[in-house]
Structure 1
Amino acid sequence: MELRIPYSFPSCLATLNHQRNATALTRKHTKRGKQCLSVLPSFVIVSAKFDETQVNQRRSANYHPSIWDQKLIESFTTPYSYEIHATRLEGLKQDVKTLLTSTKDKSVLLRLIDSMQRLGVSYHFEQEIEEVLKFQRPDVTSDLYTAALHFRILRERGFPVSSDVFDRFRSRDGRFIDSLSRDVEGLLSLYEASHLRMHGENILEEARDFSIKNLNLLMEKLDSNSAKKVKQSLEIPLFWRMPRVEARNFIDVYQKDNTKNLTLLELAKLDYNLVQSVYQQELKELERWWRDLGFKDKLTFSRDRLMENYMWAVGIIFEPQFSKCRIGLTKFVCILTAIDDMYDVYGLLDELECFTDAVKRWEMKAMEDLPIYMKICYVAILNFANEMAGDVIKDHGLNILTYLIEEESCYVEMSLSSGNFSGSCGHMCNEQTCVLRTSLSLHNFGRRFLGCSRYKVGPKCPFFIWIDNPTWPHGNEAAPLALEKMSRLQTALQLANERERTALEMAEEARQMAEKALEEEAKAKERERKARAVCAKVKEKAILAEEKQRMWKSTCILSWIFFVIVMLLCFGSIEFSGVKRPRLLPLK
């Protein structure tokens, strides 16, 4: 099968699972002169064309033009389409589904799921993969590659799995076993798994350092293909890569794998080309929208980054069924980029204040006083927000227009308060950025002015322009009072800070004293414990001595009794009260 894939994608973007409906919304158009209104229930879509040109000399960031012109985008073609290849696609999906459900060996099954994810076809089998992974445990294997691969797949799919599964690969001192340093596949799998760590998982940080160290040491001993694979992973881990770029790269890698499944490989090629055909149609639609919007011709100060913004959206959500989400996200970022350049580069302060007020009012009358380039941008904002709100209320029955207006208002207010505006005359320091400041002097208290942003860097630049009118009549009287009150407040704040600092010092001293008291108490208890131990030993010795003395007395008494008895037996007679008893003669 032919694989038609241009190499024009950025290297890495994260994935995020969103779901959006892809139904279209019909609109009725009524023309009023140069303006065209699109009628929707509760929402108004407006568009406008203007021929005026802006003559003011403004700053320019000199952004380079886009290389993706209309002819190049319109030239994208492919022979693949879902209408033609739907039957073959369904047949391959059924074969791969059978392969997935019939595989029983855990290691083989995990390799298959990993290959499906990296080839970009796992979104066809989400339910089957979830069912298979429910009954698999990552802590029942002694193979580092399988354990790390299982851990990574479970973490990527949101299953609760603890990093303790790697404890079996560590020695008693908490370090990874040295014998693992020669297992290239295991180290690479451990390295990829370590990038799905959460805060506080020190074991995965140690796993990352251990795998990086040993993979770098083994790099020179590997063959060219393995070394290239390891080098690519060390530069950009799998978790950081954009799914469609990884699918394109892994198709070439998988083709050279001796254990490849030809059915899965054919499905990956066909699916990639079909999804790419969807991307091409979306790009053509967005290019036409971008051209009709007029930003490229009328807002020449802003960045023309349609393709880059679209690829950013593809990096976030690549599945073909979410076409509407990608298109909406690309439109949003393109308009937001123009607004950002308008506030940061091109707009003057009075114009930006009017634009901010118009966005907060959210009505067509609000743009009457805006310059031409702001009218184009204002119309685009209203059109996009009202279109999105109309789609949501039709598909889901929810009115989100209020929230969109609120968020747009917050964004332009924050952009206005960022403080970088274009000056209308030269600076002595050749700096092109002004900062909005407020005067605190007695004669111009509270009056705003634009001053050079380098007033604190090197020699002070005296350039400034007043923004507000001179102080109101009673301002000179109110300023001293306000300054005096501000001085009192600053003094009170200093006193409060000093008191707080004193209280903290006292609390620290009290804490130290309490710690010393606790230490002394602990020492006293230790001394008491030792004294009691000594007393117990002395008492024990006294009891032993008393027992020995008693035993000695008993021994002496028994010895005397024994001595008397022996004497009686030996001499045969005893004189008692002066009477001599006859001695018994032995019988013959």
Structure 2
Amino acid sequence: MSSVWAFSSPFLISNSSLSRKSIIACENITINKNQVMDVPTMATSVRRSGNYPPSLWSYDRIQSLNSNYTGDKQMPRLQTLKEAVRTMIYKDNEKEENPLKMLNLVDDLQRLGISYHFENEISNALKNIYYNYYETPEKWTIMDLNLKSLGFRLLRQHGYLVPQEIFEDIKDDAGNFKGHLHNDIIGLLNLYEASYHSLEDEHILDDARDFTTKYLKESLENITDQHLSSLISHALDIPLHWMVPRVETRWFIKAYEKRSAMNPTLLELAKLDFNMVQAIHQEDLKYTSRYICIYIFCLGGFSSGSRTFLQ
């Protein structure tokens, strides 16, 4: 004979439009054509209220989620913006005399959450920059701190083994960081972020992390540029290498919008892409919620706060 299992369900205490009044207890369950098994209704034990607030994510609320970015109606504008950015990458990649602009563009694309649209273009650009500027120690000496730090972080992030010795010249003979570095606050910020890509026993990067952390904290009050100040505060709170990418994207879009030299094409593409991806997640959530509801009320048997399975 089939056995019956019952346990309380968390779904029945949610603030859902499917109230207990709409749940009909099953009194008879057909086992086969000639046999009917009587299943008594399970009594619900009275439990003390925890005075928890109603759930904000009821079934009705999830199903009511709606977005203007679903479907293909936004695709033409998305494709137009992508082609404009792709052209921008190609033009900057051709200017080999100054790789800093290309590196800044790649960094912005990553932090805005749209770099996945341009993986091949970014890969080719970083490959050219590595072999032209970062492959041999002879080329490091002509770089400033900002170019070294940003290039080091992005290249290591994409799998290039740039050694820590690229930063050997930032210390004097006594082992102290050189004084002129204090004038390059953006370079120190990028050095701080780069130091979190260190490997085991890379003491130059470990020392750089300690130095930049202390200096950036002390200099924060004297920085008048609000955009730069917010970047430093954000980095000191959680370094970029530890940040969840999608959470970083939401924060950086707002920060990038306030930048005086922001690119409107990048900003529009980032906002459009973020909203379209979020719309996809909302549709997935609505579908999953409907599937769970069907499973609960059609495949599982409910009876006055109890869930019954047949085995």
Q: TM-score band (shorter)?
A: 0.7 to 0.9
- Residue 288 of structure 2 corresponds to 286
- Residue 277 of structure 1 corresponds to 279
Q: How does 1:277-426 map to 2 (within 5 A)?
A: 277-294=279-296, 375=309
What amino acid is aligned across from residue 123 of structure 2 in structure 1?
E
How far residue 291 of structure 1 moved from its aligned partner, in angstroms, is 3.1
Indicate the SS of the match to 2:210.
helix
Deviation string for 1:375-407 (max 9, x for gaps)? 59xx9xxxxxxxxxxxxxxxxxxxxxxxxxxxx
Structure 1 residues 83 and 179: alpha-carbon distance in aligned structure 2, compared to 1, 3 A threshold: same
What amino acid is aligned across from residue 119 of structure 2 in structure 1?
E
How far residue 259 of structure 1 moved from its aligned partner, in angstroms, is 2.2
What amino acid is aligned across from residue 242 of structure 1 in structure 2?
V
- Residue 74 of structure 2 corresponds to 85
Structure 1 residues 214 and 290: alpha-carbon distance in aligned structure 2, compared to 1, 3 A threshold: same
Structure 1 residues 285 and 210: alpha-carbon distance in aligned structure 2, compared to 1, 3 A threshold: same
- Residue 116 of structure 2 corresponds to 123
Structure 1 residues 76 and 170: alpha-carbon distance in aligned structure 2, compared to 1, 3 A threshold: same
Structure 1 residues 293 and 107: alpha-carbon distance in aligned structure 2, compared to 1, 3 A threshold: same
What amino acid is aligned across from residue 272 of structure 1 in structure 2?
F
CA distance in 1, matches of 2:128, 2:175: 30
Indicate the SS of the match to 1:84.
coil
Structure 1 residues 290 and 172: alpha-carbon distance in aligned structure 2, compared to 1, 3 A threshold: farther
Indicate the SS of the match to 1:149.
helix
Matched, 1:133 2:87: no
Deviation string for 1:407-434 (max 9, x for gaps)? xxxxxxxxxxxxxxxxxxxxxxxxxxxx
Matched, 1:102 2:103: no
- Residue 222 of structure 2 corresponds to 221
Deviation string for 1:156-200 (max 9, x for gaps)? 222222222111222223332232134211111111111122222
Indicate the SS of the match to 1:76.
coil
Indicate the SS of the match to 2:117.
helix
How far residue 110 of structure 1 moved from its aligned partner, in angstroms, is 0.5
How far residue 112 of structure 1 moved from its aligned partner, in angstroms, is 0.5
- Residue 194 of structure 1 corresponds to 195
TM-score by length of 1: 0.40
- Residue 325 of structure 1 corresponds to none
- Residue 8 of structure 2 corresponds to none
What amino acid is aligned across from residue 179 of structure 1 in structure 2?
H
How far residue 279 of structure 1 moved from its aligned partner, in angstroms, is 1.0
Indicate the SS of the match to 1:142.
coil
For the pair shown, the structure with the greater C-alpha radius of gyration is 1
CA distance in 1, matches of 2:52, 2:116: 38
How far residue 118 of structure 1 moved from its aligned partner, in angstroms, is 0.7
Q: Does the aligned pair in 2 maintain the 1:52–1:372 contact within 8 Å? A: no
What amino acid is aligned across from residue 115 of structure 1 in structure 2?
D
- Residue 506 of structure 1 corresponds to none
Matched, 1:161 2:162: yes
CA distance in 2, matches of 1:160, 1:253: 31
CA distance in 2, matches of 1:54, 1:186: 69
Structure 1 residues 219 and 274: alpha-carbon distance in aligned structure 2, compared to 1, 3 A threshold: same
- Residue 247 of structure 1 corresponds to 249
Deviation string for 1:9-61 (max 9, x for gaps)? xxxxxxxxxxxxxxxxxxxxxxx969xxxxxxxxxxxxxxx996587899xx9
CA distance in 2, matches of 1:224, 1:52: 69
How far residue 228 of structure 1 moved from its aligned partner, in angstroms, is 2.7
- Residue 269 of structure 2 corresponds to 267
What amino acid is aligned across from residue 134 of structure 1 in structure 2?
K
Which of the numbers 89, 99, 104 marks the counterpart of 1:111? Answer: 104
- Structure 2: any 5+ residue segments left out of the alignment? 1-28, 32-38
CA distance in 2, matches of 1:146, 1:65: 53
Matched, 1:73 2:62: yes
Q: Does the aligned pair in 2 maintain the 1:53–1:372 contact within 8 Å? A: no
- Residue 148 of structure 1 corresponds to 149
TM-score by length of 2: 0.72
Q: Does the aligned pair in 2 maintain the 1:101–1:128 contact within 8 Å? A: yes
How far residue 82 of structure 1 moved from its aligned partner, in angstroms, is 4.3
How far residue 119 of structure 1 moved from its aligned partner, in angstroms, is 0.6
- Residue 179 of structure 2 corresponds to 178
CA distance in 1, matches of 2:271, 2:43: 50
- Residue 16 of structure 2 corresponds to none
Structure 1 residues 262 and 198: alpha-carbon distance in aligned structure 2, compared to 1, 3 A threshold: same
Corresponding pairs, count: 257
Deviation string for 1:183-233 (max 9, x for gaps)? 211111111111122222222111111001101111111126133321121
CA distance in 1, matches of 2:289, 2:270: 28
Structure 1 residues 76 and 214: alpha-carbon distance in aligned structure 2, compared to 1, 3 A threshold: same
Computed over aligned residues only, the root mean square deviation of the Cα atoms, in angstroms, reads 3.3
CA distance in 2, matches of 1:197, 1:174: 19
Structure 1 residues 96 and 202: alpha-carbon distance in aligned structure 2, compared to 1, 3 A threshold: same
Structure 1 residues 263 and 227: alpha-carbon distance in aligned structure 2, compared to 1, 3 A threshold: closer
Structure 1 residues 168 and 67: alpha-carbon distance in aligned structure 2, compared to 1, 3 A threshold: same
CA distance in 2, matches of 1:290, 1:155: 43
Indicate the SS of the match to 1:260.
coil
